[in-house]
Amino acid sequence: MWNQQLVVFTLVSALYYVQAGVPLRRYETLMMQQSPQENPELGLYDDNDKVVRLTATNFNASVLEQNRSSLVEFYNTYCGHCRRFAPTYKELAAELHGWQDVVAISAIDCAAEENNGICRTYEVMGYPTMRYMGPGYKPAAGNFGQSLTSQKINEIRSQLAALIAAENQTANNPHWPNFTPVAEGETVSALFEGLHSQREHIALIYEPENSTLASETALHLLHWPAVQVRRFSEAAVATKYQLDINSNQVALVNRQNHRQLLEVSEQSSAAYAKAIENALLSLHLTPRPRLLLGKGEQAKINNATNKDIVDYVHRNKHLVYQADLEQAIRTILHNEVSKVNEIKGEQLLALQRFLTVLQRYNPLGTNGRQLVSQLKDYVVQFNQALKGADFEQELKRLEAKLGSIYSSRHFVGCIGSSPSKRGYSCSLWTLFHFMSVQAAGNEHSQDPLEVLQAMHGYIKNFFGCTDCAEHFQAMAARRKIWSVPTKDEAVLWLWAAHNEVNQRLAGDATEDAEFPKKQFPSAESCAQCHHGTASAANSEYNWNMEAVLSFLKNIHNPQFVSRYGLQHEELLQDTLEKMRAKRQISNVFSDVDMQMGMFLYAFCIIMMVLAFKLFAFKSGYRKKPYGHDLLGKV
């Protein structure tokens, strides 16, 4: 029997590791606030579920005055009806996990004594009871949340979407979809007004009265930065976009007013979302990168050891980490620039240009933005020469004046298996990739060479790895850096140049064995980026450049830059708001690639069945099958 258990156990833990989530702070924080119940035997939900567990301790922090909604199930562990409903609620939470930036699916156990106060206050009459609390919710007499009456998944999902869509647009939640129905008179350019350049498409969906088809679809697609779903109910709008409201269709419109009609297999939000995803994939657009968490990792998000970080980064190599961007900037300013004796001539110009570009695409918090901006103002005053010591003195004066600048003091994505490995040069690449992508999304910048020129000047004049700098200049000349025609091409130029360096250094003595040099992104990180399967023997990669571009834009989108491992995240509080105001980033989205999660789930179930079959068959003629035999076959 233990073999069966082993198989199940292994598959279940495999499932756990493919749990998809997003590097979104608020959710991470929320999961961390989950305090264990006094009696761990109690409670119907555990770490393997996507249900946020509430207690008297974290209830207010999770539900009250939030920028997103909550669905709260009040239940009693011992109530049979609650137990029967629990699997449904878990399924709902898993299905709607991708909506987490807009609504948290949570539950509180009223059988736990410490929760008595909450269950009393919220006037829970029967168990289970589901209540919806909107953004900004505050409890008040007569307002203890809106009850949801159905216990069927489809109906709960639909009621929830209706409640969410009826909320006033919550401007302070960038993930909130735009539920305002499209009016007949609205032009296509009006639809795109104010949207970030990454939003290349709008999906128009007819939503009949009392239906939530389009609203649910919008929520399902929170993790696709390339599309915004808009609903409409006027037949005239359908006519305008040549949509037949009697069949299942979506109009996909782009900024050039090009329309594509998508036929959907059935009238369900899942089918609509799938049809749109497929259309985006065939346009080589990619979803937001997923976050893969290991067991127990959630609890360590703000308290990670070096080993935790290495494990996390191994699982999430495709992410860009805020900590690395900051380390690069700190090292540039404190070390590389400060240690030059006299900065003059071309070197001074290079510094001025670099600081100008950094000021424009600065990932630091408020204080850090002030620092770079004032430092640049200081440096541009000089037109002959500036002493490194004076620069350092001014840097320190400004840092003392402005207060804390850096939200962390260690590498995360660039962490090495030992302190002498990786680190700064890795973070420097990361910073320049980041800036090149920000420039591509900045509608006020027309110069395709803006970032490449700043980088070239910086590497040539300041980068302390002299042979790297020489290699880079030779490569820049060979790859015709000065003829890059567009900002998108600049992003790809840097990517290709970096891959050339990766190729050259693969297997080099300086390589960190734990982080071998590979062509980036790997097929695991971005399947769409590779045309077909590049065989291991054949190192010629067949890249899909459009998908690579979309992927690079996703991972460097400031909203998706991971804040994992930061010690002072509060310093970044308003960074996203500021960037949004400057339209440097869009109202983009949530995380889980639900489709993928479901697929893997189904896959694991099939594998389990197969494993059992195999076991049953084998045990017929073999008394002691070993666990590893079975696993080997699986």
Ligand X SMILES: *[C@@H]1O[C@H](CO)[C@@H](O)[C@H](O)[C@H]1NC(C)=O
Ligand Y SMILES: Cc1cc2nc3c(=O)[nH]c(=O)nc-3n(C[C@H](O)[C@H](O)[C@H](O)COP(=O)(O)OP(=O)(O)OC[C@H]3O[C@@H](n4cnc5c(N)ncnc54)[C@H](O)[C@@H]3O)c2cc1C
Interface with ligand Y (CB under 6 A) = 317, 413-414, 422, 425-426, 428-430, 433, 459, 465, 467-468, 471-472, 495, 498-499, 501-502, 505, 510, 512, 515, 517, 520
The smaller minimum CB distance to ligand Y, of residues 250 and 497, is found at: 497
Cα dist. 22→155, 419, 508, 522 in Å? 26, 28, 34, 19
- From the list ligand Y, ligand X, none, partner contacted by residue 172 (C-beta under 5 to 8 A by kind): ligand X
| 3-state DSSP assignment of residue 43 | coil
DSSP designation for 543:
B
C-alpha to C-alpha distance for 37 and 578, rounded to whole angstroms: 39
- From the list ligand Y, ligand X, none, partner contacted by residue 425 (C-beta under 5 to 8 A by kind): ligand Y
**Smallest distance, Å, CB 602 to ligand Y?**
31
The smaller minimum CB distance to ligand Y, of residues 127 and 462, is found at: 462
- From the list ligand X, ligand Y, none, partner contacted by residue 235 (C-beta under 5 to 8 A by kind): none
- From the list ligand X, ligand Y, none, partner contacted by residue 387 (C-beta under 5 to 8 A by kind): none
- From the list ligand Y, ligand X, none, partner contacted by residue 38 (C-beta under 5 to 8 A by kind): none
The smaller minimum CB distance to ligand X, of residues 568 and 628, is found at: 568
**Smallest distance, Å, CB 320 to ligand Y?**
7
**Smallest distance, Å, CB 339 to ligand Y?**
18
- From the list ligand X, ligand Y, none, partner contacted by residue 499 (C-beta under 5 to 8 A by kind): ligand Y
Q: Are 221 and 288 in contact (CB under 8 A)?
A: no
**Smallest distance, Å, CB 470 to ligand Y?**
8
- From the list ligand X, ligand Y, none, partner contacted by residue 26 (C-beta under 5 to 8 A by kind): ligand X
| 3-state DSSP assignment of residue 104 | strand
Q: Please give the single-letter amino acid code of residue 151.
A: Q
**Smallest distance, Å, CB 590 to ligand Y?**
23
Burial 436-457 (b: 16+ CB within 10 A, else e): bbbbbbbeebeebbbbbbbbbb
Neighbouring CB atoms inside 10 A of 57's CB total 13
Residues binding ligand X (CB under 6 A)? 26, 60, 64, 66-67, 139, 166, 168, 172, 209-210, 303, 577
The smaller minimum CB distance to ligand X, of residues 104 and 358, is found at: 104
The smaller minimum CB distance to ligand Y, of residues 110 and 319, is found at: 319
**Smallest distance, Å, CB 190 to ligand X?**
22
**Torsion angles phi and psi, residue 495, rounded to 5:** -60, -45
The smaller minimum CB distance to ligand X, of residues 122 and 321, is found at: 122
The smaller minimum CB distance to ligand X, of residues 103 and 481, is found at: 103
Name the E strands within 193-293: 201-206, 227-232, 249-254, 259-263, 291-292
**Torsion angles phi and psi, residue 467, rounded to 5:** -70, -30
- From the list ligand Y, ligand X, none, partner contacted by residue 67 (C-beta under 5 to 8 A by kind): ligand X
**Smallest distance, Å, CB 441 to ligand X?**
21
C-alpha to C-alpha distance for 244 and 3, rounded to whole angstroms: 56
Q: Please give the single-letter amino acid code of residue 36.
A: P
- From the list ligand Y, ligand X, none, partner contacted by residue 381 (C-beta under 5 to 8 A by kind): none
Minimal CB distance residue for ligand X: 172
- From the list ligand Y, ligand X, none, partner contacted by residue 209 (C-beta under 5 to 8 A by kind): ligand X
- Run of H or E including 288: none
Q: Is 529 left (phi over 0), alpha (psi -120 to 50) or beta?
A: alpha
The smaller minimum CB distance to ligand X, of residues 175 and 456, is found at: 175
The smaller minimum CB distance to ligand X, of residues 211 and 562, is found at: 211
HEC secondary structure over 433-498: HHHHHHHHCCCCCCCCCHHHHHHHHHHHHCCCCHHHHHHHHHHHHHCCHHHCCCHHHHHHHHHHHH
C-alpha to C-alpha distance for 492 and 546, rounded to whole angstroms: 10
The dihedral formed by the CA atoms of 312, 313, 319 and 325, expressed in degrees to the nearest 10: 110
The smaller minimum CB distance to ligand Y, of residues 59 and 495, is found at: 495
**Smallest distance, Å, CB 300 to ligand X?**
7
**Smallest distance, Å, CB 517 to ligand Y?**
6
**Smallest distance, Å, CB 351 to ligand X?**
35
**Smallest distance, Å, CB 452 to ligand Y?**
11
DSSP designation for 143:
B
Q: Are 604 and 343 in contact (CB under 8 A)?
A: no
DSSP designation for 564:
T
The smaller minimum CB distance to ligand Y, of residues 27 and 458, is found at: 458
Cα dist. 361→433, 451, 557 in Å? 11, 10, 11
The smaller minimum CB distance to ligand X, of residues 60 and 418, is found at: 60
- From the list ligand X, ligand Y, none, partner contacted by residue 495 (C-beta under 5 to 8 A by kind): ligand Y
- From the list ligand X, ligand Y, none, partner contacted by residue 250 (C-beta under 5 to 8 A by kind): none
Q: Are 362 and 571 in contact (CB under 8 A)?
A: no
C-alpha angle with apex 113: 107 to 114, nearest 5 degrees? 70
Tokens of residue 360, six digits: 């424009």
**Smallest distance, Å, CB 552 to ligand Y?**
6
